Amino acid sequence: MDAPPIVRVLPDHVIDQIAAGEVVERPASVVKELVENALDAGATRIQIDLEEGGARLIRVSDDGSGMGREDLELAFAPHATSKLSGPEDLLHIASLGFRGEALASIGSVARCQLTSRRPEDALGWRVVNEGGRLGPVLEAGAPLGTAVEVRDLFYNTPARRRFLKKTGTEFSRCLDVVQRAALAHDGVGFVLSHDGQRAFDVEPAMDLAGRIRRTFGAEVASALERVEARDGTSRLEGYVAPPRLSRRDTSRQMWFLNGRALRDRLLSAVLREGYRGFLVEHRQPVVFLRIAMDPALVDVNVHPMKSEVRFREERRLFGFLVNALREALRRTDMATPGMSLVEGAARREARAAAAPRPMPALPDPGVLVPRGAPPRTPERLEVREVPGAPWSAAPPARPAHAAPPETLDAPARDEFAGPFLQVARTYLVRALPDGFEVVDQHALHERITYETLRAEVRAGSVAVQRLLVPELVELARSEVELLGGHAPALARLGIELEPFGPTTIAVHGLPARLRRPDAAGLVADLVRVLEESGKPPDADEVLEEVLHSAACRSSVMAGDELGEEAIAALLRRGAQLESDQTCPHARPTRVRFTLADLERAFHRR
């Protein structure tokens, strides 16, 4: 006898639940889909009410175009959408939704109710969907627009429900979704409440700057630099924060493409490239950037949650974005505001007092200009650690948008005439018309060396200092081969070397710019960079690393006693650079105390 067949087509509700797995991962994904629907419906006010992090209730109400009776009958059906009609529409999607999957998916894993009324209808309509079981469409009194209620998410898929995190975690993900939507859509007001408490809101009339301020506070908002650029029909606009506001995570990194919040490989690469040389490794820049481009130039249909896209002209877009970003970044005020150091120290002192456990040495702001005190080692000052510290108070740096004070950035008279104070043979203190500045002489010199070298390499004219006696560096066989293979490319960078026996490299010449170069150290760095990247020395990212390493392996200016003349020359050369505010490894080169900082430090205001 034949065994009964074992392959069968799944019942519809199971198919929907499986599909739901792709779209609905947690409450935040429901919030995202419902808010997108409201935006697609042209809403100007969207209210989001959550209970228990969204696990118990998610209600999204809008004042958009609403739906009629027949629409309600179909809204929960899989692959039902008003946003696409034929395959050609997929090539230029201008709406946030288009897959017709969200409501069907959500309906299959929760108890839902959809109420809607169009402007032309006197009465509204309502339909209930319990875990995929659709009720009849009934007449109902309703305000204009649409309200979708989603209760008891995953009540019928316990395995999923178990994966939900703590209420606070789920809520903060929902908050993130709403905030990103609010930052992407001027002209739309948002109100978010959680367990009856208002958690976030923006008014429809607020612009991007106002929305950022509302979301992240005045400190971030007032340090931002405006970005605006155009390439053909593509536009970029938004704000970037100076590198000192960078963070460990990407929570304040926001890209919007035609109103869609997204994370994208290409856009991450744009940030890495744009901030190269300005940011310490593993720090994430803070940016709020909107791209507006012809929908035909981008494929948004590559990811069920629509959070990734594919750009059709990747290279061109990449170049355009990086240039616009770097240009804006150069205008940001990168000097570390001195006041934040004082406050950081005060906070740490307070914390240390509260918790009497061993603390690392506190930076003592007084030591920056010691009076006869024995010089401390640079490490103990911890100045470099501070940019990563949390910032709570408003920064004393000059406000964004305001023209920079002339005296700081574009001196009329010779601002490098001194007098200067050199502290611990490491820090240069110089008076500014409205305060003073402490410069790390080594970091600045490193930046100068790096920038000059880079300009020479770009111009194809690196001056080479030939060594009278080649310096021999012992390496592993494979390393000698690696370097030997790249010798011609390295020569174009002013690094002349050749294999000298199976385990030895002979360095014949180095860029003349390098001051007291450490050939062995440089060679070791070269090997590491080439091995890690697997690319030739003139590939952009390798080149940058090699130049960084060269700059860092040479300018041993820490510990040099400098006279007034030398100090003036160093500062003057720094001022001529594209940016002299950070060293090539993105540590700050200077810390600035303005009058306002001093007044706050002395409690005069």
Q: Which residues bind ligand ADP (CB under 6 A)?
A: 33, 37-38, 41, 62, 64-67, 75, 80-83, 97-104, 146
CA dihedral 289, 292, 298, 303 (to 10 degrees): 50
Choosing among ligand ADP, Mg ion, none, which partner's interface includes residue 62 (Cβ < 5 to 8 Å by kind)? ligand ADP
Give the strand pairing for 287-292 and 253-257: parallel
Residue 353: CB atoms within 10 A of its CB come to: 9
Strand, coil or helix: 308:
coil
- Tell me the C-alpha distance between 83 and 96, whole Å: 9
Query: Nearer to ligand ADP by C-beta: 101 or 446?
Result: 101
Closest residue by Cα to residue 343 from 363, 360, 370, 367 = 363
Q: Stretches 34-42, 178-186, 329-337, 414-422: which one binds Mg ion (CB under 5 A)?
A: 34-42
Query: Nearer to Mg ion by C-beta: 117 or 306?
Result: 306
Count of residues that interact with Mg ion, criterion CB under 5 A: 3
- Tell me the C-alpha distance between 407 and 385, whole Å: 28
- Count the residues in the chain: 605
Asked if 102 touches Mg ion (CB under 5 A), the answer is yes
Choosing among ligand ADP, Mg ion, none, which partner's interface includes residue 99 (Cβ < 5 to 8 Å by kind)? ligand ADP
Choosing among ligand ADP, Mg ion, none, which partner's interface includes residue 146 (Cβ < 5 to 8 Å by kind)? ligand ADP
Query: Nearer to ligand ADP by C-beta: 90 or 373?
Result: 90
Closest residue by Cα to residue 381 from 417, 352, 421, 424 = 424
Residue nearest to ligand ADP (CB): 97
Minimum distance from CB of 455 to Mg ion (Å)?
51
Provide the token pair at 379: 């490490």
Query: Nearer to ligand ADP by C-beta: 49 or 415?
Result: 49
Residues 6+ apart with CB under 8 A from 269: 318
Minimum distance from CB of 79 to Mg ion (Å)?
12
Query: Nearer to ligand ADP by C-beta: 28 or 325?
Result: 28
Strand, coil or helix: 580:
coil
Q: Stretches 98-106, 200-208, 313-321, 448-456: which one binds Mg ion (CB under 5 A)?
A: 98-106
Choosing among Mg ion, ligand ADP, none, which partner's interface includes residue 83 (Cβ < 5 to 8 Å by kind)? ligand ADP
Strand partners, 129: 112, 134
Instruction: Kindly state the helix (H) or strand (E) to which residue 61 belongs, with its residue range.
Output: strand 57-62
Query: Nearer to ligand ADP by C-beta: 33 or 451?
Result: 33
Q: Which of 53, 66, 97, 242 binds Mg ion (CB under 5 A)?
A: 97
Asked if 387 touches Mg ion (CB under 5 A), the answer is no
Site string for Mg ion, 515-534 (x = CB under 5 A): --------------------
Minimum distance from CB of 23 to Mg ion (Å)?
9
Query: Nearer to Mg ion by C-beta: 29 or 579?
Result: 29
Strand partners, 60: 48, 148
Asked if 329 touches Mg ion (CB under 5 A), the answer is no
Choosing among Mg ion, ligand ADP, none, which partner's interface includes residue 75 (Cβ < 5 to 8 Å by kind)? ligand ADP
Give the strand pairing for 138-140 and 133-134: unpaired
* CA 275, 276, 278, 279 torsion-angle sign: positive
Provide the token pair at 424: 């611990």
Query: Nearer to ligand ADP by C-beta: 65 or 250?
Result: 65
Strand partners, 193: 49, 198
Backbone angles phi, psi at 238, to 5 degrees: 150, -150
Radius of gyration in angstroms for the set of CA atoms belonging to the chain, rounded to a whole number: 30
Terminal-to-terminal C-alpha distance of the chain: 95
Choosing among ligand ADP, Mg ion, none, which partner's interface includes residue 67 (Cβ < 5 to 8 Å by kind)? ligand ADP
Maximum Cα interatomic distance, the chain, rounded to a whole number of Å: 104
Minimum distance from CB of 82 to Mg ion (Å)?
10
Q: Stretches 16-24, 30-38, 181-189, 413-421: which one binds Mg ion (CB under 5 A)?
A: 30-38
Query: Nearer to Mg ion by C-beta: 102 or 128?
Result: 102
Choosing among Mg ion, ligand ADP, none, which partner's interface includes residue 588 (Cβ < 5 to 8 Å by kind)? none
Upper half-sphere CA count for residue 474 (Cβ side, 13 Å): 0
Query: Nearer to Mg ion by C-beta: 82 or 503?
Result: 82
Q: List interacting residues with Mg ion (CB under 5 A).
A: 37, 97, 102
